Each structure stands twice: as structure tokens, then as C-alpha cells.
Amino acid sequence: MLSEKIISATVGKNPDYSDSLTRTKIGSVTGLVGIGLNLSLTAFKAFIGLVTGSLSVFADAMNNLTDTVSSLVSLVGIRMAAKAKDEDHPYGHGRIEYVTTLIVSLGIIFVGASLLKTSVEGIIDPQPLKTNFVGMVVLVLSIGVKYWMYGFYKYIGNKIKSTTFKAVSIDSLGDVLVTSLVLLSYILSNFLSLPVDALGGSLVSIFILKSGYDLVKETISDIVGKGPNEEFVAAIDQLFKDRPYIKSTHDLQVYDFGHGNSFATIDALVDKNSDLLSLHRTFTEIEHEVLDNFGILLTIHMDVDIIDSQEDQKLCQRLDIFCQKDQAAISYHDPAVLSRDGKKHVLVHLVVDGDQIISLEEEKEKLEDLTEFLDQDFKGAEYNIILDRDYKDQKMAKKEKV
């Protein structure tokens, strides 16, 4: 397989893909390969498009030009993302990859909009199209090259876990479909009087716009911060399952700072009679398993299943009633009534159905409902209530305190 040979020539056989230096070398070579191939395709297609006057072929050439820029930005991005941690960036520079992916996506949208404008003008004022055998051969070769690049980018993206190269692989697969459409319009223009070429250019432009939009949406989601995927959540659940002294877990949070810089936190409810040394060893084992299997540094916070004051017990009783009567309230955890600075403070995490509590207004209303309900027993207290959203199907959920 050519992709494997390129990697072997770059970093040798059986490389450690998690190593930052290895990852940077592979990413750099991949970017250079993409630049070379896309520049070649751009030159050939632009020449054929100008000679024949084909808008769809020229539009496809411009699409390949954006791919060249994408490869260049990917190359720069992966090298910048590999910079070591420093005083101002203690979590590294990995998120630069997300920024470069966003730049690529916005560039695709800009070119797509420009080509759509040109194609619409071609539909309004169609121009004669000259076709030739060489042009069709170039398009066929382009389809083959782009399909190989799709596989190459996908292979590299999966190996080094690069969001940028995974995005570029999707773009390359789109190019295969787009160029196939261009080839079809190029052939049909010989038999139809309709402005097939301009229509084909319009479809190409729309596809480019759609690809750019999808990439922007996905990249912004990465930058804003996505929740843990189902596979990771299931794996974490399995690691804690049937462990001595651990009763349940909650509040799994993942913080992604780019490749090699991901962190997670989770709360574990433990038996009040736990052996601390054994429990500490269990926590250490779980944290190392997560690091080895997912490359994520997990920190476990311990909660103890003990309600040791009458105030805490009263709070739990009120929360039990609230969860029973409120449709959106599922459960709660970390309840506590504290006295500080001569004031009473009520603390609790209320777990709600995320499909019911959607807007900030609904969140505020739910907090006010619970505050008003608790105020019957804790009037004048200061409340620190945190809403945790659960997005699983809650119709059959058992409402119980954690």
C-alpha cells in the first residue's frame, strides 16, 4: 500500500503514532504530498478550462486550488500544534489544528460562493463550449488521483488522530463526486442545447458550499467543546463497574486541548466504610488504564455516601420529594448544608432531563422552582444549585438520589 510506504520512508516501520515528533513528521509529509498533487491538478484543469471555455472544468480547477491551500494550511497547522508547552500555554498548542481546519473551511465557502456567482452568470448568458479528448482524460485522471488522496488522508488522519486530515479526506471524497459531475456535464454538452456546463458549475459550487459549511460546523463544535462520545462513556462505566467500595459515578467531564492534551474529571461515590489505601490504589489503576487506552489524563473526585447531620438529612428528604413531583428532575447528588460566616448555605447538583431543559430561560425557571421549594425549610439560606443535564432516554429512569 502506497500510504504505508510513504509512512515507512518518513519514520520507519512500526512507528509510535502517539509520539508528537513522529506525528509531526508524518503530518508534514502528508501536507507536502497534498500540495504537490493539488497544484498539479489545478494547473492541468485550469489549462483545459481556459482552452475549452468550460466553466465547470475551470470551477473544478479552482476547487483544487482551495485544496492546495488546505494542504498548505494543514502543513503549517500541524507543525504549529506540535510546539512544546510554555509558560503562557501550559496545555500546549494542540488546538491550533482546530483553528487551521476552520481557516480551510472558510476558504472553501468563499471559493464556492464565488464560483456559484460565475456559474449563475453562465446560465443567464451561456457561452459556447469546446470539448476535446484531452480534457476528458484529465478529468478521468483527476478522479483517480482524488480518490487515492481521499484514502491517503483518511489513513493518515486515523493513524495520527488529526481532525484536519480527516476533514481534508472528506473534502477529497467530495472532489471525486464533483469531478465526476463535471465530466458528465462536459460530455453532455456535445448533445444538449441547454447550458449544461454552467448548470454543472452551479452544482459544483453548491457542493463546495455544503462541504465548507459542514466543516465549519464540525470545527466550531470542537473549538467550543464537545461532550464525551458514547464509546468513551461506556468504557469508563466498565472500568468502574464492580470495583470494591465504589457505588456509582457521575459528572464525567472531558477537556480537549488538542492531540495529546486531553483531560477528564469524574466523581465517584464510595462506601463510607471504604479502605482508603485500597480505594486509592483502585483510583490509580483506573486513571492509568484511561491514560493508556485513550491518552486522557483522568482525575477522580471522591464522594462519600454518608449524611451525617440532621440538616443534610432534611435536605435529602426535600430533594426526594422534588424529584418525585417534578417531571424534568431525575436525581441529585452532593447535597450539603453548610454554615459559614454566620449564614446557611445549601449546595446540591440537580440532574435534569436535557431534552426538557433546553434554554437558559428554562434552566433559570427550574433553579427558581427548586429554590422556592427548598425555601420552605431553609428560608433565608444562600443556594448554590448546579444543574447537570442527562441526555439519555429518561421515560423509564428511576429517580433516586446519588
pLDDT above 70 (res 186): no
**pLDDT of 349:** 92
pLDDT above 70 (res 132): no
More confident residue, 205 or 284: 284
pLDDT above 60 (res 400): no
Give the tens place of pLDDT for each residue, 33-84. Answer: 989 998 988 888 888 778 777 666 677 787 788 778 778 877 888 888 878 7
- d(C-alpha 263, C-alpha 285), whole Å: 16
Mean pLDDT, residues 296-308 taken together: 87
- d(C-alpha 55, C-alpha 129), whole Å: 9
- d(C-alpha 105, C-alpha 355), whole Å: 31
**pLDDT of 93:** 84
C-alpha cell at 86: 510554555
pLDDT above 80 (res 314): yes
Q: How confident is the model at residue 399 (pLDDT cuts 50, 70, 90)?
A: very low
For residue 313, CA distances in Å to 159, 326, 328 come to 52, 20, 23
**pLDDT of 55:** 66
**pLDDT of 170:** 76
More confident residue, 196 or 226: 226
Task: Please give the full DSSP string across 114-163, using - where no structure is assigned.
Answer: HHHHHHHHHHHS-------HHHHHHHHHHHHHHHHHHHHHHHHHHHHT-H
Give the tens place of pLDDT for each residue, 99-128. Answer: 888 887 787 788 778 778 877 887 887 766
Q: How confident is the model at residue 141 (pLDDT cuts 50, 70, 90)?
A: confident
- d(C-alpha 304, C-alpha 261), whole Å: 30
Average pLDDT of the chain to the nearest whole number: 83
pLDDT above 60 (res 98): yes
Mean pLDDT, residues 315-321 taken together: 93
**pLDDT of 80:** 83
pLDDT above 50 (res 402): no
